[in-house]
Structure 1
Amino acid sequence: MTSADDPTPDVPLTRRAARLAQQRQPHRTRHVRWSRRRSVAGIFAGVAAVGLAAAYIGPAGLAMAYTPPADETTVYTGMVANAQSLSVAGDASAVVDLGRGNYETYEKPKPPPVIAASTASSSSSGGSSGPLLYTGGGSSAEWMSAAGIAQSDWGYVDYIVSHESGWNPNATNRSSGACGLVQALPCSKVPGNGYDPVDNLRWGTGYAVGRYGSWEGAYAFWVSNNWW
């Protein structure tokens, strides 16, 4: 028996025919299945988000809204009470006054200034410390004789001393500090007093012999170099 719209006879479909018919409409079936899966996943995700928010916000809100009663003992109040009990547990009458306000200061005395002998006797040299300027008399011959210089060397000594200091016992080189007849450098090397003519010539003899072998050798070097 057939209908007016469908000329195909109403024949029961076999399993193979039904399978083929289902394969002809794959997109519609798969679309329906994926839509259902997405809907279910979205529902589960929303429920999970609400649960997490409630788990975090709920306890915090309750804690902020909670007002403890006046007689409730917390950990903090217990610690404060214990500290106060420890601070007043001792006998206040047994406290001894240490007398911290009673003390005396001690100031170490300063040592008296030391006045060097050279400084005390420097008034004759114009107020500067160091060897004293020569104020005695004498002649060049007397000084060389007193210094133990042989007369055979007096001519060499006279030439050097005349060019170095002009036989002025107090001659001083302002730039180098050389002093005395032979311009000893430094002046402190002279045993005794660098401005004493006899002490200065004795030092000059040791310098001439030690450096040049003799006063004659010192004279020869001075003539060639204009210094010694």
Structure 2
Amino acid sequence: MNSRNDMTPHRNDVTPVPASATLSARSGSRRRGVAGFFSALAVVGFAAAMVAPTGVALAQQPESAGPESAYSAALAETQNLTVTAEGAAIAPIQRGTFSVYVTPKPTPTPTPTPTTASSGSSGSSKPGPSGPLFYTGGGAPAEWMAAAGIAESDWGYVDYIVSRESGWNPNATNKSSGACGLVQALPCSKVPGNGYDPVDNLRWATGYATGRYGSWAGAHAFWTNNHWW
């Protein structure tokens, strides 16, 4: 049976570690520690460089304002647009107008409407081609002058003028000017009633003679000098 000393290993059996190996291990650990320190320092610097602009922007905001969100920024922009639209003076649009005439096809032919003016005060009349009411009542110059209210003392002046203007033809018409009746009233439409009715024509002529020349005598004097009145 073996003794206790045989079972216990002797110290002399353990291989001794050289001193140079121990020093090498310590130096390696020290190098790894220095490298790790510088690596951590580089990471911290990189992180600071990334965060610095954000920090500066936050520092520039008012102290009372919190961090701005995307919703708050969009709301502020919407309010700015609303204020701008409400505060702007929008002028009304000026629109012009125009009209267009379209010629109908086929072009209709106008139909003349006959004149239906009443007859003169001293006789019946008949419509002509263009509507004038010619005198057909008959009578004599003396009757017409008396009916028109012309004094007998002026009949000679009237006869002189009318004989040269119309030859005492109640329906005399100047083709170029349109003057009508005994005294060739121009235009014919200015005679109240019917310009071709002798009484209406002479009644208007009395007002014209006295209004422009003072009397039938004045009208006669002007006509003899100028051959018109």
- TM-score, structure 1 as length reference: 0.47
- RCO higher in structure (CA 8 A, sep ≥6): 2
